Chain A
Amino acid sequence: MTLPYKKRRLDKALSQSAVHPEPAIQIEMNDGPAIPRKTDPGLYSAWKFVVIAAPCLYIYLATYDQIAALLVSAMPGLGESWGWLKKIAGPEYVNSYRDAFLFIMPDGFYVTLQVTCLGIGVSIPVGIMTGLCRVSRIRIINLIASVYVEVVRGIPLLVQLFYIYYGVASIIRINPFMAAIISIGFCYGAYIGEVVRSGIEAVDRGQREAAMSLGFTPFQAMRHVILPQAIRTILPPLGNECISMLKDSSLVSMVAIIDILRRGREYASTTFNYFESYTMVALSYLFITLILSKGVSLLETRMGRYERR
């Protein structure tokens, strides 16, 4: 006799393993996927918890006084017995969380997303070029790309940002926004280049040989055989790089670009509501990265389709 509980668990395990077959060889090229795999139960349930809890907290903090007002107007008795509820619902009560949120909200979000998107727009082409050069057999091209990667990876992004914003901009005129995009784009271009390189190198050598034996040019082999297969390995770590970029875009607040963090700082220093302000800043970043990581994982499952056995 099988226990129904065990049977349910078995069925669930079977159905999940059919939907999400683990690839035979799994190469972790980074500090883990954007969304933890179901095979890592601790991290996965933590992720689920955060996905639900963080947006709830975010919305709650921004609206709790309005919720209280609704409660009190719906049930006047509540306000009488709980004085603090009545106070929160009252017209003279100021919700600093919402104030901070509204201060950050339209422009700060917009600028952070803009910096990130443009940064991605610069760094992905740069990264693909760098990755291709790094696997090139032409020594000089390979050398140039390798030097670029080593130099950029050895310098903190903040220093690169200052170098271009204060250093280079003192010689040739660059507007602050351009300086930020250039330094983020080229910094992440180097990291993405390494991701692209390891993705290309993870494709079995036989694939290239088969293409060559059929008369493909090296370019055609790369374009039609190797890159389409490399994308699968590249995509998850690439998504992680984009999420890191979003977080690192907060560094541009150091060079007078008004992003989420900068707006939060301005709010905090004018109102002295440091706690409320930075809580909303932190939750704002968390909120966006959660959405992005969901997007990355959707992309990941779509790209993995042809591998299904």
Chain B
Amino acid sequence: MNAADPIIVLTDVYKFFGNFAALTNVSLSIRRGEKVVLVGPSGSGKSTLLRTINRLETIDHGAITVNGQDIYDPKANLNRLRTSMGMVFQGFNLFRHKTALENVTMAPCQVLKMDPVEADKRGLDLLHKVGIADKAGNYPAQLSGGQQQRVAIARALAMNPDIMLFDEPTSALDPEVTHEVLDVMSAWPARA
């Protein structure tokens, strides 16, 4: 596949919540390796847009293709598709009953059937990269907002996704930490 090929394409996407139009006529195309930032006031539909891209929300009109595959095709393998897309949520949504490390290793173990020992090694590696390897044994409730955020990033990266979706990656952070997290994000080999 050519590096210049678009990896995410949205055409004419509409999304309604009841009578409320959250997304109207959104079209965009993102190429492999591109970093795109969505900017807009609160409530403008940024989260909704990201969520439609990995089908946590359905759309009412239009089409979305990822890696050349129409994700609203009923035959599409949603799980495979989602594995190729990492998402960092606005509220992080870390698994509250698992430690930081377990949060990172759970999906590789369950979804990719990776060997647990191997997964632990990689998980620690990732936590090290995002700078919180020393908190590997902590539960999310024992981590600050910035630390949770970084665990969430490591958790998404653990699946080796082609695409990373960040929803307001810095909204919950104070300015100093914002810097660190942005560093972590830009250190990730640019993909999308």
A302 lies within 8 A of chain B by Cβ: no
Consensus secondary structure, chain B interface? mixed
B110 touching A213, Cβ below 8 Å: no
Given the complex, which residues of B lie within 8 Å of A217, measured CB to CB?
A: 79
Is A229's CB within 8 Å of the partner chain B? yes
- Total A-B residue contacts, Cβ distance less than 8 Å: 70
**Nearest CB on A from B45, distance (A):** 17
Docked Cα-Cα span, A220 to B78, in Å, equals: 14
Interface residues in B68-100 by Cβ distance below 8 A to A read 79-80, 82-83, 85-87, 89, 91, 93-97
Q: Size range of the interface on B?
A: 20 to 34
Candidates B83, B91, B93, B110; contact of A224 at CB < 8 Å: B110
Name the residue on B nearest A21 (C-beta): B141
Q: Measured between alpha carbons, how far is A207 from B140 in the docked complex, in Å?
A: 12
Q: How far is the CB of B148 from the nearest CB of chain A, in Å?
A: 12
Q: Mark A202-218, 1 if CB is under 8 A from B, else 0.
A: 00101101111111110
CB-defined contacts of B80 to chain A, threshold 8 Å = 215
- CB-based contact A204/B93 at 8 Å: yes
In the complex formed, the residue of A with least CB distance to B158 is A214
Inter-chain contacts of A209 with B (CB < 8 A): 51, 56, 89, 93
Given the interface pairs A216-B79, A216-B107, A308-B141, the reply to whether A206 lies near B97 with Cβ below 8 Å is: no
A306 touching B97, Cβ below 8 Å: yes
With most chain B CB atoms within 10 A of its CB, the pick from A206, A207, A213, A308 is: A213
Q: Does B54 contact A (CB under 8 A)?
A: yes
CB distance from A229 to the nearest CB of B (A): 5
B38 at the interface (CB under 8 A from A): no
Residues of chain A in range 177-233 having any CB-CB distance to chain B below 8 Å:
204, 206-207, 209-217, 220, 224-225, 228-229, 232
A307 close to chain B: CB less than 8 A: yes
Interface residues of B in 106-165 (CB under 8 A from A): 106-107, 110-111, 139, 141-142, 155-156, 159
A225 to chain B, nearest CB (A): 6
Q: Is the CB of A214 within 8 A of B89?
A: no
Q: Which B-chain residue is minimally distant from A221 (CB atoms)?
A: B110
Q: Is the CB of A212 within 8 A of B82?
A: yes
CB atoms of B83 and A215 under 8 A apart: yes
For chain B residues 28-52, which have a beta carbon within 8 Å of chain A?
51
| A-chain residues with CB within 8 Å of residue B97 when the two chains form the complex | 228-229, 232, 306
> Do B95 and A213 have beta carbons less than 8 Å apart?
no
A22 and B85 alpha carbons, distance in the complex (Å) = 37
Closest Cβ neighbor of B79 among chain A residues? A215
CA distance A253 to B94 in the complex (A): 50
* B82 close to A215 (CB less than 8 A): yes
Could you say which residues of chain A place their CB within 8 Å of the CB of B110? 216, 220, 224
What is the minimal beta-carbon distance from B39 to any residue of chain A, in angstroms? 22
Are A212 and B56 neighbours in the complex by a CB distance under 8 Å?
yes
What string of 1s and 0s marks CB contacts (under 8 Å) between A6-33 and chain B? 0000000000000000000000000000
A217 nearest CB across to chain B (Å): 6
A139 within 8 A of B: no
On chain B, the residues within 8 Å of A207 by CB distance are 93, 95-96
Known contacts A229-B96, A306-B139; is-contact A215 B91 (Cβ 8 Å): no
Give chain B's interface residues, CB within 8 Å of chain A.
51, 54, 56, 79-80, 82-83, 85-87, 89, 91, 93-97, 106-107, 110-111, 139, 141-142, 155-156, 159
Instruction: Kindly list the 5 A-B residue pairs having the minimum CB-CB distance in the complex, ordered from nearest.
Output: A215-B83, A206-B93, A210-B93, A214-B107, A213-B87
A-B contact sample (16 more), CB < 8 A, given A209-B93, A229-B95, A229-B96: A206-B89, A206-B91, A206-B93, A207-B93, A213-B82, A214-B83, A214-B155, A215-B82, A215-B159, A217-B79, A220-B111, A224-B110, A232-B97, A306-B97, A307-B141, A309-B142
Instruction: Report 5 cross-chain contacts, Cβ distance below 8 Å, ordered by A residue.
Output: A214-B86, A229-B97, A232-B97, A307-B96, A308-B139
